[in-house]
Each structure stands twice: as C-alpha cells, then as structure tokens.
Amino acid sequence: MPATRYTIQPGDTLTEIATRFYKDAKVVRSLAGYNGLQNIDLIVVGHTLEIPTRAELEGRTKADKIIVKNAALKTPNGLDEIISTFGDPFPFMKGDGRISSDWWKSIAGSATLPRPVPLSWAPGQKVTSFGCHKKLSGVFTDVFAAIEDKGLWGGIRTFGGCYNFRVKRGGNRLSTHSWAIAVDINPGTNQMGTAGDLDPQIVAVFREHGFKWGGDWTGKGKDPMHFQFCTGY
C-alpha cells in the first residue's frame, strides 16, 4: 500500500485503524510510535495520522537495510526506542506545549564541521559546529568528515539546523529535531514534497552512518533536506 494520511473520526480507535489499513491489529504499537503517540488509547478526533507502508513502519525498507560497520550506536526504530536511546522529553513539556530548558541541558552535545557552512536562515553567518544530542556528537562529526574526505563538500551549500523543539511540519507528532538527532541540508532547494537536488553520494554517506533520509518518504511528506538518526518515525 502507498503511504497516505488519515484524519481521525469520531468513534475511531487506533487498533481499528491499524486493522483497517494493515489487516493486522498487532501493528498498533508501531503505528502509534510512528505518529509520536505514547498511549494507543489517547487519540484526538481531527488529528491526522501518517499511514506509511508496513515496511516503512517497521524500519525495514531497502534504504534502511544498510548495515553500518563498527557502529557504536544502533539506529532506533519507533518512538519507544527513540525515547529509550535518546531520552524522554514529555516530562519536560509544560502545559502550553513549550519545553523546559532542562531538556536541552540533559541532552546537549556538539558536533564539528570540517569547513564553515552558511546558515540557511542567515547566509551571511557561517558555522563550524552545531548543537546536537550528546550521543551523536561523534556520529555527526564523522558523517560530515566523510563527506569532506570523499570530495563531496561542494554539495553542502547551507545548513538548516539540528536542535529545534517543535512538531513535525504538516503533522502533530514531535519532530526528530526535538531530540537533536536530525539535520537539514540545503533547505532552499530541498523543500518538503519535492524531489530536491541533494547529491546521491551525500545521501549514501548519511545512510552508511545510520541515518534515514527524508527523501525516501513519499507524497507531501517527502523531505529531501532531512536526515534523522532513527527509522519507523
């Protein structure tokens, strides 16, 4: 089945929705995790669910099968594994949806870039490092170093950021940027819903380091600027 979206209707349950789209109620936890839901019994009428292919839901698409040699950190699949690996932001959230500064303090790390890169929102300003999850400091540093070593740095034109506590564009769930486990590259020419223009060799380097590419997604959710260190979400 192709990826699609479904708006929750009165009387719906997540188990029924899972059964309707996948013919299997057992995937309800995976569907919840993909959509950032911690409780399968708490769904909101009018909210939109992302209904990916079952392979995408379970983190076993062709692109996800790349084996990262000597990886110090396994790429998590789904919300439960993301929280287990990178921490739980929900207790840090305030009643108005904002996040306590203690959340960032608990996960803060930094990655180094081999060359200065202009910020996408302030091209006159260049950065040589950026804040990320502390467990990925080495991973992010290594992936950008590998891009440089392979002579691909010319394909990195602007840096679109890493940590940003917010919901995913066009959705209701927390973005993976909320854990500082995702980066956006060349946002200006890689908008959501487009094919983008990223060098496939750069995409391959990210994949070899355990990242999922948003360009693998389909339809309006396709996000070619985006790389995240998790699948099934």
Tens-level pLDDT at each residue, the chain (233 residues): 556 889 999 999 999 999 999 999 999 999 998 998 988 988 999 998 989 888 888 877 766 666 566 567 999 999 999 999 999 999 999 888 789 999 999 999 999 999 999 999 999 999 999 999 999 999 999 999 999 999 999 999 999 999 999 988 766 789 999 999 999 999 999 999 999 999 999 999 999 999 999 999 887 889 999 999 999 99
CA-based angle 201:143:75, to the nearest 5? 100
* pTM given for the model: 0.86
| Of the candidates 58, 53, 52, 44, the residue with the CA atom closest to the CA atom of residue 9 | 44
| Of the candidates 48, 87, 25, the residue with the CA atom closest to the CA atom of residue 230 | 87
CA distances to 41, 44, 73, 79, 175 from 95, in Å: 20, 17, 33, 21, 18
Q: How many CB atoms neighbour CB 206 within 10 A?
A: 21
User: Which helix (H) or strand (E) segment is 57 a member of?
Assistant: helix 54-57
